[in-house]
């Protein structure tokens, strides 16, 4: 295990100390627990938005707490859900009289703990909480049938959900409206990933899975959940084609649609390679008559040092474009008005 850390046990607390020390005035701690991070700036009357999940995915989740995006976040240890008590502490801190929206990824541990926190917030604190669970990884399950729960994992596409809901809340919309925007973003985003190497959870000390020196796995999740096909490493264009086709078919994205594109590095894949991927994505979208509204390339949801990437597309309309275009200012994500 080759990491710049002190001990596995102190990895996340010390990372958090570093974050608070590096961004004073931007983020602060809700109470005594470093794992509960909130925007240092308050906006009375604004809907509060919280997220959370396991550590090891920076800039997800902490990174999007700030102006125009999220108000708070609680995190657990690497790949571990935060507790209901931690979520409740964040919820109490970010409620500004207009209720709180939870937006988080579709993982059982998170659902259980967020639901419990929502219940405690309602019963003990009289704070109204609504939840939107993002699950847009097309490799992780078939689309949910009418009336059935969505079984898909939430991955990097949640960035678009944060961005749109965050902009709606910043624009003064009420909780129902912010929730509607978040759900609309969820409904229109699809993601697929590819992994080239594993990452190592510090407390375990060995790679989460084995993968050959010449192999890749299409559709792998950001904690190493199984993908849909493992095989020899192919060319960038072939990899992109194999990831993009299921995305396009799933929604489906059609000629005349307009999309936001996110190419997300998983941690160990250089930005150079991510742009080689975007070149092919753009060629394919152009050929299909799908217009690109705006493109994001970089690391938005990682698995520490894992090599690989994901592609997310969100179909946009005038409303979603307006929210995507709004400025945002967090320690990890800054955007001027588009």
* ω into 61 cis (within 30 of 0): yes
| Residue 289: both structure tokens together | 């008559």
42 binds a copy of itself (CB under 8 A): no
Cβ atoms 331, 26 nearer than 8 A: yes
Closest contact distance (angstroms) between CB of 177 and a copy of itself is 27
| Residue 245: both structure tokens together | 């086709």
Catalytic-labelled residue, pool 23, 35, 223, 294? 223
210 binds a copy of itself (CB under 8 A): no
| Residue 193: both structure tokens together | 């990933």
206 is catalytic: no
57 is catalytic: yes
Closest contact distance (angstroms) between CB of 37 and a copy of itself is 12
| Neighbour count for residue 37 (Cβ, 10 Å) | 28
142 binds a copy of itself (CB under 8 A): no
Instruction: Give CA–CA dist 30/48, Å, rounded.
Output: 14
304 binds a copy of itself (CB under 8 A): yes
Cβ atoms 216, 194 nearer than 8 A: yes
Cβ atoms 194, 308 nearer than 8 A: yes
Instruction: Give CA–CA dist 67/329, Å, rounded.
Output: 5
Of 169 and 261, nearer to a copy of itself (C-beta) is 261
Of positions 282, 288, 319, 321, contacts a copy of itself by CB under 8 A = 282
Of positions 6, 9, 176, 245, contacts a copy of itself by CB under 8 A = 6
Of positions 172, 235, 249, 252, contacts a copy of itself by CB under 8 A = 235
5 binds a copy of itself (CB under 8 A): yes
Catalytic-labelled residue, pool 23, 35, 57, 206? 57
Question: Number of residues in contact with a copy of itself, rule: CB under 8 A?
Answer: 59
Closest contact distance (angstroms) between CB of 95 and a copy of itself is 27
Q: Which residues contact 84 (CB under 8 A, 6 or more apart)?
A: 113, 114, 116, 117, 120
4 binds a copy of itself (CB under 8 A): yes
Of positions 19, 90, 156, 311, contacts a copy of itself by CB under 8 A = 19
Of positions 226, 279, 291, 317, contacts a copy of itself by CB under 8 A = 279
| Residue 137: both structure tokens together | 């990884």
Cβ atoms 40, 22 nearer than 8 A: no
Of positions 52, 53, 54, 56, contacts a copy of itself by CB under 8 A = 56
Of positions 85, 183, 258, 305, contacts a copy of itself by CB under 8 A = 305
Stretch that binds a copy of itself, among 44-52, 84-92, 118-126, 192-200 (CB under 8 A): 192-200
Q: Which residues contact 99 (CB under 8 A, 6 or more apart)?
A: 47, 48, 127, 128, 129, 130, 174, 175
Q: What are phi and psi of 28, to 5 degrees?
A: -145, 170
Ranges within 57-96 binding a copy of itself (CB under 8 A): 58-59
Q: Side by side, which strands form the sheet with 48-55?
A: 27-29, 36-39, 72-78, 48-55, 100-105, 129-134
Stretch that binds a copy of itself, among 18-26, 118-126, 158-166, 318-326 (CB under 8 A): 18-26
Element spanning 55, H or E: strand 48-55
Q: What share of the chain is helix, strand, coil (3-state, %, to 5)?
A: 35, 25, 40
302 binds a copy of itself (CB under 8 A): yes
Query: What residues act catalytically?
Result: 57, 223
Give the footprint of a copy of itself on this chain (CB under 8 A): 2-7, 11-12, 14-19, 21-23, 55-56, 58-59, 194, 196-197, 213-214, 233, 235-237, 239, 267-279, 282, 295, 297-299, 302, 304-305, 307, 309, 329, 332, 334-336
């Amino acid at each position: 295990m080759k990491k710049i850390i002190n001990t596995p046990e102190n990895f996340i607390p010390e990372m958090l100390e570093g974050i608070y020390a590096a961004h004073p005035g931007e983020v602060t701690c809700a109470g005594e627990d470093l794992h509960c991070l909130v925007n240092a700036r308050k906006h009375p009357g604004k809907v509060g938005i919280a997220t959370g999940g396991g550590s090891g995915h920076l800039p997800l989740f902490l990174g999007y707490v700030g102006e125009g995006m999220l108000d708070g976040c609680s995190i657990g240890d690497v790949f571990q859900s935060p507790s209901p008590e931690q979520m409740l502490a964040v919820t109490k801190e970010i409620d500004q009289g207009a209720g709180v929206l939870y937006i988080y990824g579709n993982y059982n541990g998170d659902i259980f703990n967020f639901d419990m926190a929502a219940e405690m917030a309602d019963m003990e604190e009289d704070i109204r909480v609504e939840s939107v669970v993002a699950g847009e990884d097309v490799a992780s399950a078939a689309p949910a049938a009418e009336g059935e729960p969505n079984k898909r994992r939430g991955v990097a596409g949640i960035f678009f959900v944060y961005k749109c809901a965050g902009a709606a809340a910043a624009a003064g919309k009420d909780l129902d409206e912010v929730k509607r925007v978040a759900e609309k973003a969820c409904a229109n985003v699809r993601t697929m990933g590819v992994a080239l190497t594993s990452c190592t959870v510090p407390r375990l000390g060995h790679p989460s899975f084995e993968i050959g020196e010449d192999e890749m796995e299409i559709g792998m999740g950001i904690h190493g959940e199984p993908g849909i096909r493992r095989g020899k490493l192919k060319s960038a264009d072939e990899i992109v084609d194999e990831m993009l086709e299921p995305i396009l078919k799933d929604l489906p994205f059609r000629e005349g649609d307009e999309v936001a594109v996110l190419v997300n590095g998983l941690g160990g894949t250089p930005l150079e390679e991510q742009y080689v991927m975007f070149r092919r994505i753009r060629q394919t979208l152009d050929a299909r008559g799908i217009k690109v509204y705006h493109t994001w390339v970089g690391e938005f949801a990682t698995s520490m040092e894992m090599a690989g990437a994901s592609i997310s597309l969100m179909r946009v309309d005038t409303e979603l474009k307006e929210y995507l275009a709004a400025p945002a200012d967090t320690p990890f994500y800054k955007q001027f008005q588009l």
